[in-house]
Amino acid sequence: MTETVQPLPQTPPPAENQNLFDEPVSDVGDLSQWQLMRIRFSKNKLAMLGIWGMLIVYIVVFLGEFIAPNWYQFQDTEYVFGPPSPVTFIGPDGRFGLQPYTYATTTVLNKDTFAFEFAVDETQKIPISFFVQGDEVSVLGFKTKLHLFGLKDTKQRFYVMGADGLGRDMFARILVGGQISTTVGLFGVALSIILGSVLGTASGYFGGIIDDVMQRIIEVLGAFPQIPLWAALAAAMPDISENFTVVHRYFLITIVLSVVGWTGLARQLRAKVLSYRSADFTQAALAAGSSDARIILTHMVPNGASHIIVIAALGIPGMILGETSLSFLGLGILPPAVSWGALLRDAQQVSVVVQHPWLLIPAGTVVLTVWLFSLIGDGLRDAVDPYSI
Amino acid sequence: MLNYIFRRIGYMLVTLAIISVVGYLIVELPPGSYVEFEIQRLRQQGGNLSQDQITALELRYGLNDPIYVRFWKWISGFVRGDFGESFQYRQEVKDLIGQRLMFTISISIFSLLLAWGIAVPLGVYSATHRYTLPDYIITVLQFLGLSIPSFLVALVLMVFAQRTLGQQVGGLFSDQYQTAPWSVAKFIDLLAHLWIPIVVIAFGSTAGLSRIMRANLLDVLGMQYVQTARSKGLTENVVIWKHAVRNAMHPLIMILGGSLPGIISGETVLAIVMNIPTVGPMYFTAQLNQDLYLAASFLMFLSILGVLGNLLADIALAWVDPRIRYE
């Protein structure tokens, strides 16, 4: 390939590195498809934002119990629906500094309404310190009392994002809830890929009756409205008990999500495989006496792999939103497990949210995560095939 | 053309038959039955039930028949227009779902129309003004629209409306019209409530549709016949709307059929949040309470809507593109 392309005489030879990233005609032949994809992807600023953003989200979420000042299950009965603690950088001496402070809060029972009211004592400033001892939590299996930040004075409260209806720290719950919300899509997509690629390839390659049956199944699953179907399947799960723990439920939810998810992938892979089947390289392999298995595994799967990755990446946001909707309706992740959708369940009543707007914060994290995943998926799609949507 | 339509209808009937079996199985899947809820309810009211009474209940709801008998009872009635009786409401399913289904269909259709009405011009604009500031703004909005589940948009909108506008939201009618007979004032009140769910649902689908429209149009604008049209001296408007957009619409029509189940499913969740008397809230309680016939009928009707949407999209596509008819 390389020798057939003559460099134009008037263009000065570009520098070594730049050469690679400008994707010049002369180098394209030297690079493998995957290298080309990687270059195109890393040139896409939004996609890189998605990758780094997601990396940070995962780190924060999985170190959540260490990062949050309180344990996510700890209930402060005197801080029910407590508002977020104010933070100030103006010290007790009235000067602005780098040391953050929070104010002491007191709980007063209003004798007229018999509701707890929270008063911020502006005169009493408490310094926020890093690496303080607090509630014992387990981070990635390690038990520790160390927290990234918090108050040294354990008698004072520090709730960055307020407290929920049982007086639990919303910040800690959002971080811990993210562990389920950000992974449920990955497992769900992994399952749909296995189902979708096996069935889609078989359907496209063998055609005939297998194809007909598969097409009908896909059509039937596609005709069900997704969320009611998910809800019906989720309602069929047993209640949480000794034999059926939250972990079981989590995996069953991912299966439910992928039952619907695989059809899209199967349909698209089928179209791909159909076009490969008549391609010259397949005909050549057939003429050379290759078996069906060999043709599928060595000629079709590598060709479809990039496509599978793209569809997988694009499928993750839908799964995350699916889990959120299910848990929001009370059919997905159930307490004591926490997920963003389950947290949003507290925000179902408009009147509650109007009074305690911080209960809506998990909505923001859902949108952020889905948005970052969409950026990655979009970037991958452009990298694999710059001409398709 | 007729031949094609008949073949599609044939496929549709097969699909519906399979859907009815799968749907019924799924609805029956949860452990326990309505009788258990009924027993619990009666116990809460005081008094215990004897084994005889429980057996009588089970007999009344036909729970001792094998599943295929129950399925046959339900589906043969369903085809004749007898959808069975709701256990929970002690009413004919037919009377319960009629109005709700109508609201669901009208909200879905209106939001579909709104989404298309916005998405096509928006997609055309951002394709013809690629890499300009408005295009970037539209792209960001599209991503947002795709990342936010509709019930969250509704929740935020409702909180906003209540906090800043002091407006009462949710439901379909204001209190004074709730039980009033139909009148012009009631209809206007309905419209005042209906626009929020319609806009919320349209918001999400507009994002996806306009993105596809933009990509398709960009593809078509690179074609040679567009260049030819320009070189003939046609005005840019004619080139875009008559030559390019018409060809870029095909994939959109194909998506139209598939988008109906999505819209219905978004609507069902939205209805719970906004307390709209459509299919959604009743379906979910029916599903959770094992109200068998109610849940199965809802699922069946929602799926029929989806399949019908697919059929209409197929016919529309064949009408637009003659090549498909002769496949």
User: DSSP secondary structure string, B215-283?
Assistant: HHHHHHHTSHHHHHHHHTT--HHHIIIIIIHHHHTHHHHHHHHHHHHHHHHHHHHHHHHHT-SSHHHHH
Directed axis angle between helix A45-62 and helix A33-43, to 10°? 80
Q: Is B27 left (phi over 0), alpha (psi -120 to 50) or beta?
A: alpha
Q: Which of A35-39, A48-52, A202-206, B190-194 has the lowest mean pLDDT?
A: B190-194
SS3 of A100, please? strand
Asked if B159's CB is within 8 angstroms of A360's CB, the reply is: yes
Residue ranges of E strands in A12-95 = 87-90
Q: Which of A50-54, A59-63, A349-353, B257-261 has the lowest mean pLDDT?
A: B257-261
Res. A13: pLDDT tops 60: no
Length of chain B measured in residues: 327
Q: Which of A203-212, B66-75, B147-156, B317-326 has the lowest mean pLDDT?
A: B317-326
pLDDT confidence of residue B47:
67
Report the percent of chain A where pLDDT is more than 90: 3
Per-residue confidence band for A56, with pLDDT thresholds at 50, 70 and 90 = very high
- Chain B residue with minimum CA distance to A382: B215
Ordered by start, the domain boundaries in chain B are: 101-326
A374 touches chain B (CB under 8 A): yes
Q: Which of A91-95, A222-226, A326-330, B173-177 has the lowest mean pLDDT?
A: B173-177
CA-CA-CA-CA dihedral for B310, B315, B316, B317, to nearest 10 = 90
Residues of chain B in contact with residue A225, where contact means CB-CB under 8 angstroms, are 261-262, 264-265, 268, 302-303, 306
- B226 C-beta neighbours (distance < 10 Å), count: 17
Q: What is the tens place of the pLDDT at every residue in B258-287?
A: 677 777 777 877 888 777 888 878 888 888
SS3 of B172, please? coil
Pick from A21, A18, A34, A24: nearest CA to A383: A34
Res. A1: pLDDT tops 50: no
Tell me the C-alpha distance between A82 and A159, whole Å. 8
SS3 of A81, please? coil
Residues of chain B in contact with residue A238, where contact means CB-CB under 8 angstroms, are 31
Q: What is the tens place of the pLDDT at every residue in B142-193?
A: 888 878 877 788 887 777 777 776 666 666 677 666 667 777 777 777 777 7
Most confident stretch, A108-117, A130-139, A275-284, B151-160? A275-284
Asked if B288's CB is within 8 angstroms of A235's CB, the reply is: yes
Tell me the C-alpha distance between B204 and A100, whole Å. 40
Asked if B26's CB is within 8 angstroms of A236's CB, the reply is: yes
Asked if B268's CB is within 8 angstroms of A225's CB, the reply is: yes
Which among A238, A367, A389 has CB closest to B147? A367
Report the percent of chain B where pLDDT is more than 90: 2
Which among B14, B163, B216 has CB closest to A216? B14
A363 touches chain B (CB under 8 A): yes
B19 touches chain A (CB under 8 A): yes
Asked if A223's CB is within 8 angstroms of B306's CB, the reply is: yes
| CATH-assigned architecture of domain B101-326 | Orthogonal Bundle (1.10)
Per-residue confidence band for B27, with pLDDT thresholds at 50, 70 and 90 = confident
Our CA-based measurement puts residue A57 at a distance from the nearest CA of chain B, in whole angstroms, of: 16
Asked if B264's CB is within 8 angstroms of A222's CB, the reply is: no
B154 touches chain A (CB under 8 A): no
Res. A2: pLDDT tops 70: no
Give percent helix, percent strand, percent coil of chain A, each to the nearest 5: 60, 15, 25
B285 touches chain A (CB under 8 A): no
User: Which DSSP helix (H) or strand (E) runs through A167?
Assistant: none
B141, B149 Cβ separation under 8 angstroms: no
Residues of chain A in contact with residue B157, where contact means CB-CB under 8 angstroms, are none
Buried/exposed A249-285: b ≥16 CB within 10 Å, e otherwise:
bbebbbebbbbbbbbbbbbbbbebbeebbeeeebeeb
User: For A40-50, what is the mean pLDDT?
Assistant: 84
User: Which DSSP helix (H) or strand (E) runs through B321?
Assistant: none
B215 touches chain A (CB under 8 A): yes
A50, A372 Cβ separation under 8 angstroms: yes
- A191 C-beta neighbours (distance < 10 Å), count: 19
Residues of chain A in contact with residue B22, where contact means CB-CB under 8 angstroms, are 220, 224
The complex scores an ipTM of 0.74
Which among B30, B162, B269 has CB closest to A325? B269
Asked if B15's CB is within 8 angstroms of A216's CB, the reply is: yes
A389, A204 Cβ separation under 8 angstroms: no
Which among B151, B163, B262 has CB closest to A354? B163
pLDDT confidence of residue B326:
61
- Chain B residue with minimum CA distance to A363: B152
Res. A141: pLDDT tops 80: no
Which among B22, B162, B272 has CB closest to A329? B272
Tell me the C-alpha distance between A283 and A280, whole Å. 5
Residues of chain B in contact with residue A235, where contact means CB-CB under 8 angstroms, are 29-30, 287-288
B299 touches chain A (CB under 8 A): yes
Res. A23: pLDDT tops 70: no
A229 touches chain B (CB under 8 A): yes
Directed axis angle between helix A246-277 and helix A170-206, to 10°? 30
* Residue type for position B35: V
Per-residue confidence band for A319, with pLDDT thresholds at 50, 70 and 90 = confident
SS3 of A148, please? strand
User: For B312-322, what is the mean pLDDT?
Assistant: 78
Which among B170, B258, B303 has CB closest to A350? B170
SS3 of A6, please? coil
pTM above 0.80, yes or no: no
Residues of chain B in contact with residue A223, where contact means CB-CB under 8 angstroms, are 15, 19, 261, 303, 306-307, 310
Asked if B261's CB is within 8 angstroms of A222's CB, the reply is: yes
pLDDT confidence of residue A54:
92
Domains defined for chain A, CATH in brackets: 85-158 (no CATH), 174-383 (1.10.3720.10)
User: For B215-241, what is the mean pLDDT?
Assistant: 87
A214 touches chain B (CB under 8 A): no
- Return the half-sphere exposure (C-beta side, CA atoms, 13 A cut-off) of residue B309: 27
Tell me the C-alpha distance between A268 and B222, whole Å. 24
pLDDT confidence of residue A19:
47
User: For A291-317, what is the mean pLDDT?
Assistant: 82
pLDDT confidence of residue A389:
40
Asked if A220's CB is within 8 angstroms of B15's CB, the reply is: yes
Size of interface A-B (CB pairs under 8 A): 129
Sheet holding A87-90, edge to edge: A87-90, A96-110, A115-139, A142-151
pLDDT confidence of residue A93:
76
Q: Is A163 left (phi over 0), alpha (psi -120 to 50) or beta?
A: beta
Most confident stretch, A94-103, A126-135, A139-148, B5-14? B5-14
Which among A325, A371, A387 has CB closest to B143? A371
- Mean pLDDT in chain A? 79
B220, B247 Cβ separation under 8 angstroms: yes
User: For A183-189, what is the mean pLDDT?
Assistant: 87
Per-residue confidence band for B105, with pLDDT thresholds at 50, 70 and 90 = confident
Res. B197: pLDDT tops 80: yes
A236 touches chain B (CB under 8 A): yes
B295 touches chain A (CB under 8 A): yes
Tell me the C-alpha distance between A24 and A16, whole Å. 12
User: For A151-179, what is the mean pLDDT?
Assistant: 84
Q: Which of A324-328, B29-33, B116-120, B228-232 has the lowest mean pLDDT?
A: B29-33
Pick from A41, A35, A51: nearest CA to A379: A41
B9 touches chain A (CB under 8 A): no
